[in-house]
Amino acid sequence: MEKQNLKKTKLLIATPLYPPEIGGPATYVKFLEQYLPKEQFDIEIIRFGEVKHLPYIIRHFAFFWKVFKRAGSSDIVYALDPLGVGIPSGFAAKLRGKKFMLRIAGDRAWETAVQRWNISDPLDVFSSSRSYSFPIPILKFGQTFAARMAAQIVVPSEYLRSIVSNWGIKKEKIYPVYNAFSPIIISESKEEIRRELFLYGHIILSAGRLVPWKGFETLIRAFSAIVEDTPDMKLLIAGDGPDKEKLLQTVHLLDLEDKVIFLGILPKEKLLRYLKASDLFVLNTFYEGFSHQLLEAMSLGTPVVTTTVGGNPEMIETGKDGVLVTYDDTRAFISVITLLLKEKKYAEDLAKSAKDKAGTFNVKRAVDGLTKIIN
């Protein structure tokens, strides 16, 4: 008897970014294309880049129309961002009578408020407060409106589930699915990569967008205290962003030009080599939904020091897989970094446990979790 063909679910994915563009949605949509079971899903991608050349508001109407036309032959519309693609996709799905799903990997309103209007409230406070001046409520309303339209919401951590529920969204329709991660294999040894990159002495690496909530200024100040006792140490910072000039001024004022090196935006392959070559990966972050960067460091066997915020405690048990400290606690960073550089056996034990932990965030776990929600 022939096998009966199962009806495939037609999934229309609306994404704000698509490779070679860089960013979380671009990485995630490629994951969906590559790993969602082909025998269960027909996938069609619609990219916001198709309308980006249009004026600001008009592009959103144009995107709505594109989704509306393509949604007719789909079962589900899945938007990978609440604001840029979420609202037009949600309207299109509703008008077509299709199920609308939404992925939320962060709070765009908070990120914008911190960067543009110097809001200092942590995300936990910001996400539940209604006391901000115009235009912040507009952004908050927009992402909440998109979330209300969705039948199901996918988030990459339990922490982000709590944040989205702070918007007034029922927790029952918010589903945590951890990002997938494939173990990284670099055949060369740490010493070989160090020679290739001309790295000597103790190397601390940090990486991320140069924005206020990544805490690079405090990290630089903590480093300035440590380097007095460990003169062969360097701090490498990979990334770019609006705070770069401010950080360069801090480095100049502390007379650290030959000790703090800004690497700029690196190709992924090169950043991974710097990660493996480093003694520590340090991330003084005010906010992380679920950090792929931390998983990469863990997978490569580089000890991690980061903060207790966001999804970090879901990845790292302090004292077992790495060390978690309070955001912007200069003394704590000085103490922990100094300890790990001196106690090499302790650092190696943390790194070994972290490498095992990183392996649990695998593709199968992510695919099974998402497939269960869609079906």
Express each pLDDT in 200-252 by its tens digit: 999 999 998 898 889 999 999 999 999 988 888 999 999 999 999 999 999 99
Query: What is the distance between the terminal CA atoms of the chain, rounded to a whole angstrom?
Result: 27
Tell me whether domains 9-180+362-374 and 190-358 share a fold: yes
Each domain of the chain, given as residue ranges in start order, spans 9-180+362-374, 190-358
Looking at the DSSP bridge assignments, the partners of residue 103 are 154
Does domain 9-180+362-374 fall under CATH 3.40.50.2000? My reply is yes
Instruction: Give residue 281's pLDDT.
Output: 97
Instruction: Give residue 5's pLDDT.
Output: 56
Instruction: Give residue 168's pLDDT.
Output: 93
Instruction: Give residue 198's pLDDT.
Output: 94
Looking at the DSSP bridge assignments, the partners of residue 280 are 204
CB atoms < 10 A from the CB of 161, how many? 20
**Can you tell me the distance from the alpha carbon of 297 to that of 92, in angstroms, rounded to the nearest whole number?**
40
Q: In what order do the strands lie in the sheet with 202-207?
A: 260-264, 233-238, 202-207, 280-283, 304-307, 323-325
- pLDDT digit of tens for each residue in the chain (375 aa)? 344 556 889 999 999 988 888 777 888 888 898 888 888 999 999 999 999 999 988 999 999 999 999 999 999 999 999 988 999 999 999 999 999 999 998 888 998 888 788 888 888 889 988 788 888 999 999 999 999 999 999 999 999 999 999 999 999 999 999 988 877 889 999 999 999 999 999 999 999 889 888 999 999 999 999 998 888 899 999 999 999 999 999 999 999 999 999 999 898 889 999 999 999 999 999 888 888 889 999 999 999 999 999 889 999 999 999 999 999 999 999 999 999 999 999 999 999 999 999 989 888 999 999 998 987
CATH class label, 190-358: alpha beta
Classify 16 as helix, strand or coil. Answer: coil
* pLDDT tens profile 284-340: 998 888 888 899 999 999 999 999 998 899 999 999 999 999 999 999 999 999 999
Instruction: Give residue 278's pLDDT.
Output: 96
